[in-house]
Amino acid sequence: MLGFTGRDIIQATEAGRTGQPAAEGRRPLSELAARIADEAVGPVYSPVVLSGLVRLVEFVIVLALGAAIYLGWVYPQHGVQWTSLVGLFGLSALALAAFQSAGLYDVHLFRTHVAQFSRLFFTWTMVFLVAMAVAFFAKAGDAFSRVWLGSWYVAGLLSLMALRIGLAQLVRTWSRAGRLQRRAVVVGGGEPAEELIRSILAQSDTDVTICGTFDDRTDERSPAHAAHVPKLGTVDDLLEFARRTRVDLVIVTIPMSAEKRVLDMLRKLWVLPVDIRLAAHTAKLRFRPRAYSYIGNVPVLDVFDKPIQDWDVVLKWVFDKIVGTAALIALSPIFIATAIAVKLDSKGPVFFRQKRYGFNNEMIEVFKFRSMYTDMSDATASKLVTKGDPRVTRVGRFIRKTSIDELPQLFNVVFKGNLSLVGPRPHAAHAKAADKLYDDVVDGYFARHKVKPGITGWAQINGWRGETDTPEKIQRRVEHDLYYIENWSVLFDLYILAKTPISLARHRENAF
């Protein structure tokens, strides 16, 4: 990447509104943009994860076949031989490395039959020839059964080809359904945008689908179509468009020489959970080849990457499900006791549901133990809870102080999947600081929604929880949220979870 952070973009430009949709409503789109945004679009599957899973499956197949044939043919006569064990694991690892070097894990190759079969046959054969050559020069040829190696070669080749046939069918199906396609939009118009679009569409194996272009200009420099791709609106419209449909990639064709215009545009777009690339195909300023990444054969500069993607998404999902389920089981006595106390203390339901901002600014419904009197509940959080607030019940004061009221959000983590254990806390739609909506107080506020919100977070363990009665409190909370997003790791999540009980005990005075 170029080394930008969201805060860099904000500091590089004048303070002011970024044009994102207000909390009260949604920005209207043009008829065409709305129609495209409302089309049914499924989730995208990560090519990185797919190729990684294929690696794992093929390694297991090769290893399991070799072990099964060894146990059936060699073991009954000779038992366990250390040289054979070395050969078993060594050849399996060599096969994986050879397949990688031969490009057999390129997702584009998965769609073919002839190309990957010929490459697979040649590479698999070379692996066994190399293995036999190593055994010969190491004078260990007598330690290996020829029947074992020959059977392993044939069975492995047939099994791998059968796997690749099924994989090709699966990938073709996913490709037709758009599961492996990155949905992109182009920011900018005119000749640079047209040249970029034609270059991308001319590639037979491209994984990019261009939904449309967005540009603030309305004159002849940005016509209604670029290479037959329609212009859908302005950059401000793009913010709403990306929240109503899946957008994976934003390609900016504005020349780098227009520095202020580029920074102003990035200042609006960095709040979105998308990859942002600056097209370099028309740039006069040339960097070293390693400075570029490529969309097909089009050089681009990486400005922002979508946070937590590919294997990180898998790791965080598994972490949430395993730890969340364990927490639900371990805390079940507290759940039961709290539910009884809430029910006995005041009339009304045990649980309280509230609409809050989730990933990509979407509205989600989170669960809490009810801490207010039913007839005084504030579902939109339009009025902050303050010390001694008469709306809060006796039990409610205790469970809010101890954050026990937040525990039912584990249901969101484990069953609904719209919350994470760790992440920026989800705020209510009309939450305010000093009588102003949060996004009116903090420029770039919606950038905290680039990842899934969490039950606890970096801001909370640093004391920025509870009442936000001043602009500084919400500003500091957002700063900590952005730090978490830019520095996420599983170890960071573990650290935050471990620190949460200590922080709750230390900062109880902040919660009312």
Residue 262 CB partners (closer than 8 Å, separation 6+): 252, 254, 256, 278
Beta bridge partners of 432: 437
Q: What pLDDT does residue 391 have?
A: 86
pLDDT digits (tens, 9 = 90+) for 27-41: 888 899 999 998 888
Q: Where are the alpha helices (DSSP H) in 250-379?
A: 259-269, 311-330, 332-345
State how beta strands 436-437 and 432-433 pair.
Answer: antiparallel
pLDDT surpassing 50 at residue 18: no
Please report the pLDDT score of residue 14 as a whole number.
Answer: 41
* pLDDT for residue 475 is more than 70: yes
pLDDT of residue 184: 94
Q: What is the pLDDT of residue 203?
A: 82
Alpha-carbon distances of 289 from 8, 58, 195, rounded to whole Å: 25, 34, 21
Residue 284 pLDDT > 70: no
Q: How is domain 6-44+181-304 classified at the CATH fold level?
A: Rossmann fold (3.40.50)
In contact, 231 and 222? CB cutoff 8 Å: yes
- Per-residue pLDDT for 507 more than 80? no
% of the chain at pLDDT higher than 70 = 84
* CA distance readout (Å), 461 to 23, 56, 63, 467, 503: 27, 38, 46, 15, 5
The average pLDDT across 484-488 equals 93
Confidence band of 22 (pLDDT split at 50, 70, 90): very low
pLDDT at 13 over 50: no
Q: In which band, very low, low, confident or very high, does the pLDDT at 295 lie, cut at 50, 70 and 90?
A: confident
Is the pLDDT assigned to residue 205 strictly greater than 60? yes
What is the distance between the alpha carbons of residues 281 and 352, in angstroms, rounded to a whole number?
54
Q: What is the pLDDT of residue 135?
A: 73
Q: What is the rounded CA–CA span in Å between residue 425 and residue 441?
A: 17
* Lowest-pLDDT choice from 58-72, 235-249, 269-283: 269-283
CB atoms within 10 A of CB 84: 20
Q: Residues near 505 by Cβ (< 8 Å), separated by ≥ 6?
A: none
Res 331: pLDDT: 94
Please state the rounded mean pLDDT for residues 466-470. 66
**What global pTM score does this model have?**
0.82
Cα 403 to Cα 369: distance, rounded to the nearest angstrom: 10
pLDDT of residue 5: 61
pLDDT, average across residues 284-292: 61
> Taking the domains of the chain in order of start, what are their residue ranges?
6-44+181-304, 47-176, 311-510
Residue 361 has pLDDT above 60, yes or no: yes
Calculate the average pLDDT of the chain.
Answer: 84
The whole-number average pLDDT for the span 236-265 is 87
Q: Do residues 353 and 411 touch, judged by C-beta distance below 8 A?
A: no
**65 or 258, greater pLDDT:** 65
pLDDT at 269 over 70: yes
Least confident of 126-135, 213-222, 359-368: 213-222
What percentage of the chain's residues is helix, strand, coil (to nearest 5)? 55, 15, 35
Q: Which residues sit opposite 250 in a β-bridge?
A: 185, 276
The answer to which of 51-60, 357-366, 370-379, 399-408 has the lowest mean pLDDT is 370-379
Average pLDDT for 151-163: 94
pLDDT at 506: 74
Do strands 182-187 and 249-252 pair parallel, antiparallel, or not at all (unpaired)?
parallel
3 state SS of 183: strand
Distance, CA of 263 to CA of 269 (rounded, Å): 10
List, for residues 308-339, the tens digit of each pLDDT value: 899 999 999 999 999 999 999 999 999 999 99
Residue 159 or residue 4, greater confidence = 159
Phi then psi for 468, rounded to 5 degrees?
Answer: -120, 75
pLDDT at residue number 17:
47
9-18, 296-305, 484-493 — which is least confidently predicted?
9-18
